[in-house]
Chain A
Amino acid sequence: MVAAKEESRNFGHNAGTVTLILSSLAGGEKHGYSLVKDVEKFAGVHIAPGTLYEALARLEKLKFIEPVESDDRRRPYRLTANGATALANQLRAQRRAVNVGLKRLDGGGLIA
């Protein structure tokens, strides 16, 4: 639990963006632009370039992702084992929160 909390803190104030980026990279290595397009497709969220590269730099520093050698100017990134573990823990924590929220809404008769 303590380790999970520590990992969650590593996600920083852009936890939402970081989760989306890691989730996208869980599907395979991608460069910045294809990552943004993938996130738009599965989450309907557009990540602005400055926000994207702030998050990528942070994730690279944390060794959650790593750059892949490329001849192209657009450098692809891939998820590391540490990143996969952190993402799994973050998503589990979010699922717990979602389940509790939905159960309470359901129990209170607030949703149809």
Chain B
Amino acid sequence: MSSSENARRAHRLTKFYPTAWRQRYGEEFEAHMEQDIEETPHSLSRSLNVMMKGFGTHAKNLTWRILLLEPSQGKLRNSRVLPTVLVLGFALSIALRGSNVGTPWPALILFGVLYALFLFGYVYDTRKIRTVGPSKRFSMDRNIMTGIIILNSGVILLQNAIGHRTLVLYTVLVLDVVLFSVRFGWIRRKREPVRNPLIPVVQGKTKS
């Protein structure tokens, strides 16, 4: 196999990683992959490994971006949050189609997973960066997010009691989209600078 073909294949596999990761590690990773491909031209386990780790890196990036409030990145966050909410909503609707109506488990599991994910982002990173404490608006946003999660779980519980599963699920989905849009619209309207306690301040400026 020619070296240009190896380079092409290495480049294709590197594309499984997010842009930010590729900017930092892309060149050396491609060089490494080219050598690896030269030694073992065909390896399914290598391709799967790169794909899985690439998706894992995407998932980590996405989680941090969604869970951390950064008003200056409102547009970027909107573009990521909306599809994520939609995908989660549809995945949930599919998952609940097979569940047993009348049990509270779907709602409780949903609540547990969403809240754990949400708290992980705030608490873990806050502790890690060791900031002095969240701002007023940051706390408010955290509370709104908690409210949305509780509302989601509550509506699913209600669905267990009243039936109309599909209707209720899509109502929740629409409600989520509206709530998230209002939330980000509100953040964008407030133009005064807000310091995100999770982003370290460097020489009086917020490091993005």
Q: What are 18 A-B pairs at a CB distance below 8 A?
A: A31-B28, A36-B32, A36-B36, A48-B50, A49-B29, A49-B33, A49-B36, A49-B46, A50-B54, A53-B53, A54-B53, A54-B57, A56-B25, A57-B24, A72-B31, A73-B30, A74-B32, A75-B27
CA distance A48 to B51 in the complex (A): 11
Residues of B with C-beta under 8 A to A33: 31-32, 35-36
CA distance A80 to B10 in the complex (A): 30
Number of interface residues of A (CB under 8 A): 17
Which interface residue of A31, A50, A51, A53 has the most chain B CB atoms within 10 A? A50
Q: Is the CB of B46 within 8 A of A48?
A: yes
Which interface residue of B28, B29, B56 has the most chain A CB atoms within 10 A? B28
Interchain CB contact (< 8 A) of A48 among B29, B31, B35, B49? B49
Q: Is the CB of B49 within 8 A of A75?
A: no
Interchain CB contact (< 8 A) of B31 among A51, A56, A73? A73
Q: Is the CB of B29 within 8 A of A53?
A: yes
Residue B52 interfacial (CB < 8 Å):
yes
